[in-house]
Amino acid sequence: MPAIEAVNLQRQYKGGLKAVDGIDLRVEPGEVYGFLGPNGAGKTTTVRMLVTLLRPTGGHAKVAGFDVSTEPSAVRARIGVALQEAALDHLMTGRELMELQATLHGIDPKKVRDRAGDLITRVGLEQAAERRVGTYSGGMRRRLDLAMALIHAPEVLFLDEPTTGLDPTSRSTLWEEVRRLRDEGTTVFLTTQYLEEADQLADRVGIISAGRIVAEDTPAKLKAEVGVPHLDITLASLDGEAEQDLARAREVLARFGDQRPAGPDCHLSVALPDGAAGVAPIVRALDDAGFTVASLDLQSPTLDDVFAEKTGRHLEGAGAA
């Protein structure tokens, strides 16, 4: 039984706007599924439907085996949710919030304190547990939010852009936690606009644009679909007839693979069908032809390339992570 299953899932608002326009999903238990797309693509709307905060206006979905529309209570008992805004009460301490969350999930009063304590320790907030959340940094709030989502050991965890706005260290910490959850067998549905995050964490990635999934597979396979690595070459300044010399350099490179249009300032880019093994012959050929290579850069396809290929646009988060 899949952990998450959606068939033609739709959400249309009054006025006709279709935020989610027919999404099919199948996430297996224990999988980390990355849902990647720019702002406004429909990621959050999809998550909100799967966690029963929004009613689908078409199609259906099941989470942990229960229908989100007809059996929402059963779904809620089995999911953990950390939404885009770390929704915390600033007047309460970390421990109080954990214990409140435990109570909201019906955990036995005798076990509440220990369970809260365990999770506080797990996310590294022991020192801050007795302080009011209003004094926490952004990273600490996210960790607490995650701990609260885990208080009842959910089968499926939904994380909506969990590292947006975090510094690199906090982001790494959260990534580690997601990996640990995967190792423990929790299914994680993660939305993100950061390529690196999807690339690093997800077993499979679904790329969403304008309410539809435009591509779905493992990160490696998705990238392989759009092309091969490229070698970006910057030549040392050419004297005299730069145009002619560039044309000559392109002729040298022609036998190695397809080239992208030459960039400014003596930049060239050639495909490497054999991967990194193709670098040395290219450098030798350029050297033999009298060119001096100033720099080399091996560029592998990114998920942004996948997105660009499918939609004609780039992801906003490309390079931001």
Partner 1 sequence: MTAAQNLRVILALSRRALNEILRVPGGAIPGVLAPAIFMVGLSGVFGAASQLPGFDASDFRTFIVPVGMLQGAGFTGAATGVNLARDIERGWFDRLLTGPAPRIVLLIGIVSSASLRALLPATFLLLLALALGVHVQSVPGLVLAFLIVMLFAAALACWGCVVALRFGTQQAAPLMQIVAFASILFTTAYAPEALLAGWLADIASVNPVTYVLEGVRQAFVYGLTWDRTWHALLALALLLLALGSGAIAMMRRVGR
Based on the shown chain and the rule CB under 8 A, indicate whether residue 187 belongs to the binding site for partner 1.
Answer: no
Contacts 24+ apart (CB under 8 A), 282-290: 282/231, 282/233, 282/253, 282/256, 285/252, 285/253, 285/256, 286/233, 286/235, 286/249, 286/252, 286/253, 289/248, 289/249, 289/252
Is 111 a binding residue for partner 1 by CB under 8 A? The answer is no
- Cross-strand partners of 204: 33
Buried b (16+ CB within 10 A) or exposed e, 249-284: beebbeebbebeebeeebbbbbbbeeeeebbeebee
106 binds partner 1 (CB under 8 A): yes
- Continuous H helices in the chain: 43-50, 72-78, 94-104, 109-122, 138-150, 168-184, 195-201, 219-226, 242-254, 279-288, 303-311
The interface mask with partner 1, positions 204-223, x = CB under 8 A, is --------------------
Closest Cα partner for 55 from 77, 70, 36, 44? 70
Site string for partner 1, 64-83 (x = CB under 8 A): ---------x--xx-x-x-x
77 vs 262, beta carbon nearer partner 1: 77
Grouping H, G, I as helix, E, B as strand and the rest as coil, residue 83 is: coil
Under rule CB under 8 A, residue 129 binds partner 1: no
Bridging pattern class, strands 212-217 and 204-209: antiparallel
Nearer to partner 1, 66 or 291 (CB): 66
- Cβ distance to partner 1 smaller for residue 52 or 164: 52
Residue recorded with tokens 């809260």: 116
Q: In the complex with partner 1, which residue's Cβ is closer, 145 or 196?
A: 145
Query: Which of 3, 27, 32, 88 forms a contact with partner 1 (CB under 8 A)?
Result: 88
Q: Is 173 in the site for partner 1 (CB under 8 A)?
A: no
Residue 150 is a binding residue for partner 1 (CB under 8 A): no
HSE at residue 291, side-chain half, CA atoms within 13 A, is 29
Using the 8-state DSSP alphabet, how is residue 238 labeled?
P
* 153 binds partner 1, rule: CB under 8 A: no
Minimum Å gap between C-beta 85 and partner 1 is 4
Restricted to residues 275-304, the positions that interact with partner 1 (CB under 8 A) are: none
Q: CB 103 → partner 1: shortest distance, Å?
A: 4
Do residues 269 and 232 make contact, with C-beta atoms less than 8 angstroms apart? Answer: yes
188: contact with partner 1 by CB under 8 A: no
CB of 277 to partner 1, least distance (A): 50
Q: Closest CB to partner 1 among 106 and 168? A: 106
Q: How many other C-beta atoms are found inside a 10 Å radius of the C-beta of residue 77?
A: 15
Closest distance to partner 1 from the beta carbon of 291 (Å): 58
Told to check if 103 binds partner 1 by CB under 8 A, we report yes
Is the Cβ of residue 66 or residue 256 nearer to partner 1 in the bound state? 66
Among 25, 125, 148, 181, binds partner 1 (CB under 8 A): 148
**Could you tell me which stretch among 48-56, 136-144, 173-181, 306-314 binds partner 1 (CB under 8 A)?**
48-56
- Judged by CB under 8 A, how many residues of this single chain contact partner 1? 27
DSSP per residue, 261-293:
EEETTTEEEEE-TTGGGGHHHHHHHHHHTT--E
Question: Which residues make up the interface to partner 1 (CB under 8 A)?
Answer: 48, 51-55, 73, 76-77, 79, 81, 83-85, 87-89, 91-92, 100-101, 103-106, 109, 148
